[in-house]
């Protein structure tokens, strides 16, 4: 099948590459000429395990192409995926200007029946707006062409996106016509050879499903962070509590690890967007607002622990920071807890030596230049280099190389043997027996 994917960001590139890997002819469209030039050369703008090899292979086998104009690709396509960004507005709403701009462009060049699919995470009712935008553009051309608009939200985890796409738990498709359903079932047929993973529903149902899934996971994280903070005050080890409740099959172990907050391009944005949608309907979403507020506050917890230990003025102190990306397996620093922590520490006068296995280039590009110019922030190329003359280690992102460091060797590098563990990776008693002070999230 011929497929067009508009947008070569995280979702669009993974979608296009994985469909090509399954034998479909895919054209990815993006207005960013520099990005398209690099993609044609096989240079991937994001870090995602396994993606580069798939892109390169399918470029070489002419199943994956990249263009800057939708008009160059639309005529041969049976399905067009809209996978452009929906950045949050100041009020938390999802900005649909790019989605609707693509819809109008589709209407400008549409000549025959196609299925238009929203892959971007969008509010309930977006498909209706896409349908209207295409129809109005067709009307301005004095044309009546049949088309369908469907919703096919992505459920990809950064760091495991290729595997998630190729071996999905479920494929949610929102379609209001049998014709659109048939086309999309055929497109996804090879992903369902073992068993049918497709869940069909209405378009608005599919749009809501995506937001609800992310909001539910965010809720579990914020709830457990709330419990961990209470454990801190009650002299309770939250790790034992986690094991105790996770063993209940009704709760499970997933997403109940306490930490210094969630980040990324999905959870924060989607929770805020669902809150905004609730307000628009006149409904007060108390739980969602609490989830968001807890997470915003949780990002300051590590800095508060540091200041409680060292005092309000951190001038003259150096901290090693392990982990800049919002989670392991990605270089994405959007709304990462590390950024909030850096703001707090540097504002208090601290110097920070930071290391991340993948996000150093992103940090150099996106963090304030003043931090680098003043010497408040130094990015290093090895995790142990960050420890030189450090008064404490602060772990923010649970990358695998950070899980079992040589704590004995570290004591010869650091000025003081102090660890602030933002992901509860380390055993407090083991560290204390080695002469460390330990501060975790609900553990001490």
**For the packed helices 301-310 and 337-347, what is the interaxial angle rounded to 10 degrees?**
30
Q: How far apart are CA 388 and CA 353, in angstroms?
A: 9
4: left (phi over 0), alpha (psi -120 to 50) or beta: beta
Give how far the C-alpha of residue 335 lies from the chain's centroid of Cα atoms, to the nearest Å: 9
Active site residue 266: yes
* Residue tagged active-site, from 18, 28, 260, 266: 266
Q: Residue 234, SS3?
A: helix
Tokens representing residue 63 in the block: 């199943």
What would the DSSP string read from start to end of 336-365?
A: -HHHHHHHHHHHTT-EEEEE-SS-HHHHHH
What would the DSSP string read from start to end of 169-182?
A: S-EEEE-SSHHHHH
241 and 230 Cβ atoms separated by less than 8 Å = no
- How many residues does this entry show for the chain? 444
Chain position carrying tokens 């452009």: 84
130 and 98 Cβ atoms separated by less than 8 Å = no
Q: Is 49 exposed, middle or buried (0-12, 13-18, 19+ CB in 10 A)?
A: middle
- Phi/psi of residue 41, each to 5°? -85, 0
Q: Is 67 exposed, middle or buried (0-12, 13-18, 19+ CB in 10 A)?
A: middle
67 membership: H or E segment, kind and range: strand 64-67
Dihedral Cα 366, 369, 375, 377, nearest 10 deg: -20
Any idea which residues carry the catalytic annotation? 266
């Amino acid at each position: 099948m011929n497929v067009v994917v508009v947008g070569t960001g995280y979702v669009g590139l993974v979608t296009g590459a994985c469909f090509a890997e399954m034998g479909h002819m895919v054209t990815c469209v993006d207005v960013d000429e520099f990005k398209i030039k690099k993609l044609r050369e096989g240079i991937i703008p994001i870090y995602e395990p396994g993606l580069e090899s798939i892109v390169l292979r399918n470029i070489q086998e002419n199943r994956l192409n990249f263009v800057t104009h939708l008009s160059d690709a639309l005529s041969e396509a049976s399905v067009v995926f809209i996978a452009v960004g929906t950045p949050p507005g100041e009020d938390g709403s999802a900005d649909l200007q790019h989605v609707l701009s693509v819809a109008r462009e589709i209407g400008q060049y549409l000549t025959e029946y196609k299925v238009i699919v929203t892959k971007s995470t969008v509010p309930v009712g977006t498909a209706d707006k896409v349908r209207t935008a295409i129809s109005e553009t067709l009307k301005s051309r004095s044309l009546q062409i049949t088309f369908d608009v469907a919703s096919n939200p992505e459920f990809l985890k950064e760091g495991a996106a290729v595997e998630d796409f190729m071996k999905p738990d479920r494929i949610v498709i929102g379609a209001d016509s049998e014709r659109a359903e048939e086309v999309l079932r055929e497109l996804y047929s090879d992903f369902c050879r073992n068993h049918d993973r497709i869940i069909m529903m209405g378009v608005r149902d599919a749009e809501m499903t995506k937001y609800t899934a992310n909001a539910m996971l965010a809720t579990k994280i914020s709830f457990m962070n709330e419990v961990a903070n209470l454990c801190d005050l009650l002299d309770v080890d939250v790790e034992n509590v986690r094991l105790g409740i996770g063993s209940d099959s009704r709760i499970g172990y997933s997403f109940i690890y306490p930490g210094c907050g969630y980040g990324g391009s999905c959870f924060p944005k989607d929770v805020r967007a669902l809150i905004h949608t609730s307000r628009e309907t006149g409904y007060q979403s108390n739980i969602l607002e609490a989830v968001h507020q807890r997470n915003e506050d949780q990002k300051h917890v590590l800095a508060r622990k540091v200041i409680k230990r060292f005092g309000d003025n951190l001038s003259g102190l150096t901290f090693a920071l392990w982990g800049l990306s919002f989670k392991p397996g990605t270089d994405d620093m959007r709304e990462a807890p590390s950024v909030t922590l850096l703001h707090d520490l540097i504002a208090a006068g601290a110097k920070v030596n930071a290391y991340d296995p993948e996000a150093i280039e992103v940090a150099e590009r996106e963090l304030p230049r003043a931090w680098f110019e003043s010497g408040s922030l130094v990015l290093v190329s090895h995790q142990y280099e960050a420890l030189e003359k450090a008064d404490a280690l602060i772990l923010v992102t649970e990358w695998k190389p950070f899980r079992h460091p040589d704590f004995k060797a570290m004591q010869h590098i650091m000025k003081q043997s102090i660890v602030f563990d933002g992901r509860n990776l380390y055993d407090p008693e083991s560290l204390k027996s080695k002469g460390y002070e330990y501060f975790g999230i609900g553990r001490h």
